[in-house]
Amino acid sequence: PAHPVAQPGSSDFIVVSNRLPVDRVPQEESDDGWRRSPGGLVTALAPVMATREGAWIGWHGAADETLAPFHHGNMDLFPVPLSADEVELYYEGFSNSTLWPLYHDVIATPEFHRTWWDTYQVVNKRFAEAAASAAAPNATVWVQDYQLQLVPQYLRALRPDLRIGFFNHIPFPSPEIFAQMPWRKAILEGLLGADLLGFQRPNDTANFLRSARRFLGAGVKARQVHVNDASGHFSHISRAEPFPISIDVAQIQQLAKNPDVIARAKQIREDLGNPTTVLLGVDRLDYTKGITHRLKAYGELLDDGTVQVEDAALIQVASPSRERVETYKQLREDVEGMVGRINGQHDTIQNTAIRYLHHSYPVEEMVALYLAADVMLVTALRDGMNLVAKEYVAARGDNSGALVLSEFTGAADQLKQALLINPHDIDGLKAAILRAVTLPKAESSRRMRSMRRQILAHDVQRWSEDFLSTLAQKAVRDDS
């Protein structure tokens, strides 16, 4: 590479996440063999890292491939290899068939397998070792998300000099649900290796602290956990706080003003036959997103004749995700069956009820879609934050547009002027969609203005500064 990569032991700021910001793809799917990784974590952290000269440790998305560190977009990327077995047991297994459904309030049934847990530990050790060897003395290491909950403890054992932060991008379940986890104590102890634990909502923070108290008998006072070492002696204080994550507001705003993007938005509406109302859903194809609830409600509105295929079109972007996991295969069948049935019944030669796109798109195209959409539908059954809702709001520079938002998303804490819904209540969801379609201009613009004020004042740079300055303070106080 043209740019030399940081030497081992010389990085002062390190992010560790399961995925690197770029994902290995087959040559024929991209020019250089790389593509931006899917999901909210990378959407949020990539802009932060681009301005912070840091090292990023993570998996590059391919099995059985060992890559040398490389430089990309102002970051040093340190790929961690996973074997095909580890992808199956650690990533598809424990991370996405045990933790993911458990932490999203058991919407799908979590599976508990000892071989998955064994591999989770092995892989978490590997990530911790990679961080330990990259870090300069007294460096700050920021570990991300549910795939790596044991890294803080392993890393502290290897490098007690480091300042360790952890941020959980997904919900943390109530102790009543977390209780099911056979290795609940080990996971809590793993997390408590961090000096600072960040969660999306105050509720997630409270759930974690209640679990620490209940399952470890830990001393908890004012969001501070008193952590002992294996021999029962005081080791350190671990703090838990909410830090609701956000988006790169400036980037979205800039794209929303870009003439090419504006022209593309117009084109999208024209290509749909210039309907009066364009509705939009954008999700990873994941069962937590409530896509089938949304389709059911929309299909019934068409059946009832309240919405007409000549007047309205729903664009549903569903980006491919975790495609080898059984629950995801099943969901794809369900969604595609529903779309087929609804379109078969309501489409005309000219008009389509639902334009379903099983693709992921670059951010320019996403912003064009946000500009083209009069109504944004976010109907997640459970979601740590939901950045799509925030991106839609950031893109609506003229204060037009309506956001239908599930109260089960972290974003609902901040976007109180959205049309809030319970996605399980299909009649309520239908009423909210109808309301969004017919919302008087004055009201939609009042709501949008208030939501924009919130988002514009709380971008992802501010989120990272809040977290990292709290982590720094903590360390200062401990040393004194």
Q: Which residues are catalytic?
A: 169, 383
Q: Is 290 in the site for ligand G6P (CB under 6 A)?
A: no
Given 5, 14, 16, 40, the residue binding ligand G6P (CB under 6 A): 40
8 A C-beta contact, residue 414 and residue 244: yes
Looking at 34-42, 126-134, 270-278, 356-364, which segment touches ligand G6P (CB under 6 A)? Answer: 34-42
Return all residues near 343 (Cβ < 8 A) that are at least 6 apart. 352, 353, 354, 356
CB of 24 vs ligand G6P, minimal distance in Å: 12
169 makes contact with ligand G6P (CB under 6 A):
yes
Shortest Å distance, C-beta 37 to ligand G6P: 6
CA 55, CA 177: separation in Å to the nearest integer? 35
Site map (CB under 6 A) of ligand G6P, residues 419-458, x = contact:
----------------------------------------
Question: Rounded to the nearest whole angstrom, what is the least distance from the CB of residue 283 to ligand G6P in the complex?
Answer: 11
At 458, list the tokens: 């709380």
Comparing CB distances to ligand G6P, the nearer of 26 and 344 is 26
- Residue 173 interacts with ligand G6P (CB under 6 A): yes or no: no
* 92 contributes a contact to ligand G6P by CB under 6 A: no
- Identify whether the C-beta of residue 249 lies closer than 8 Å to the C-beta of residue 221: no
142: which strand partners?
15, 165
Assign 330 to helix, strand or coil. Answer: helix
Q: Total residues contacting ligand G6P (rule CB under 6 A)?
A: 11
Tell me how far apart the terminal alpha carbons of the chain are, to the nearest angstrom: 43
Query: Six-digit token pair at 408?
Result: 């089960």
Q: Is 321 in the site for ligand G6P (CB under 6 A)?
A: yes
Kindly provide the residue ranges of all beta strands, DSSP E only, lying in 354-411, ordered along the sequence: 354-357, 375-378, 402-406
Closest to ligand G6P by CB, 6 vs 123, is 123
**Selection from 61, 72, 63 nearest residue 37 by Cα:** 61
- For ligand G6P, the closer of residues 170 and 218 by Cβ is 170
Q: Residue 19 Cβ, how far from ligand G6P at the closest point, in Å?
A: 5
Least CB distance to ligand G6P at residue 103 (A): 10
Q: What is the dihedral of CA 273, 386, 292, 377, to 10 degrees?
A: -40
Q: Where are the beta strands (DSSP E) in 262-306?
A: 277-284
Stretch that binds ligand G6P, among 35-43, 46-54, 198-206, 348-356 (CB under 6 A): 35-43
Orientation angle between helical segments 291-304 and 326-346, nearest 10 degrees? 10
Residue 39 contacts ligand G6P per CB under 6 A: yes
The least CB distance from residue 437 to ligand G6P, in Å, is 29
Task: Please give the Cα distance from 171 to 410 (Å, whole number).
Answer: 8
Residues with Cβ within 8 Å of 253's Cβ and at least 6 positions away in sequence, in order, are: 394, 395, 397
The one-letter amino acid at 409? T
CB of 245 or CB of 437, closer to ligand G6P: 245
| Residue 322 is a binding residue for ligand G6P (CB under 6 A) | yes
Environment class of 307 (CB within 10 Å of its CB; exposed 0-12, middle 13-18, buried 19+):
buried
- Nearest approach in angstroms of CB 241 to ligand G6P is 19
The whole-angstrom separation of Cα 39 and Cα 83 is 22
Does 104 participate in binding ligand G6P (rule CB under 6 A)? no
Among 38, 81, 219, 428, binds ligand G6P (CB under 6 A): 38
Residue 194, amino acid: A
Q: Which of 145, 374, 383, 391 binds ligand G6P (CB under 6 A)?
A: 145
Q: Applying CB under 6 A, which of residues 5, 19, 317, 391 lies at the interface with ligand G6P?
A: 19
The verdict on 388 binding ligand G6P (CB under 6 A) reads no
C-alpha span between 351 and 347 (Å, rounded): 6
The beta-strand segments (E) located in 186-276 are 196-199, 219-221, 224-228, 234-242
How many residues appear in the chain? 480
DSSP tag of 82: B
- What are the φ and ψ backbone dihedral angles of 166, each rounded to 5 degrees? -140, 135
Closest approach of ligand G6P to the CB of residue 167, in Å = 10
CB of 414 to ligand G6P, least distance (A): 18
- Candidates 39-47, 157-165, 418-426, 452-460: pick the segment binding ligand G6P (CB under 6 A): 39-47
| Residue in the shown chain whose Cβ atom is closest to ligand G6P | 39
Segment interacting with ligand G6P (CB under 6 A) among 33-41, 109-117, 267-275, 394-402: 33-41
Establish if 41 lies at the interface with ligand G6P (CB under 6 A).
yes
Considering the complex, state which of residue 97 and residue 253 has its C-beta at the smaller distance from ligand G6P. 97
Binding residues (CB under 6 A) for ligand G6P: these are 18-19, 38-41, 145, 169-170, 321-322
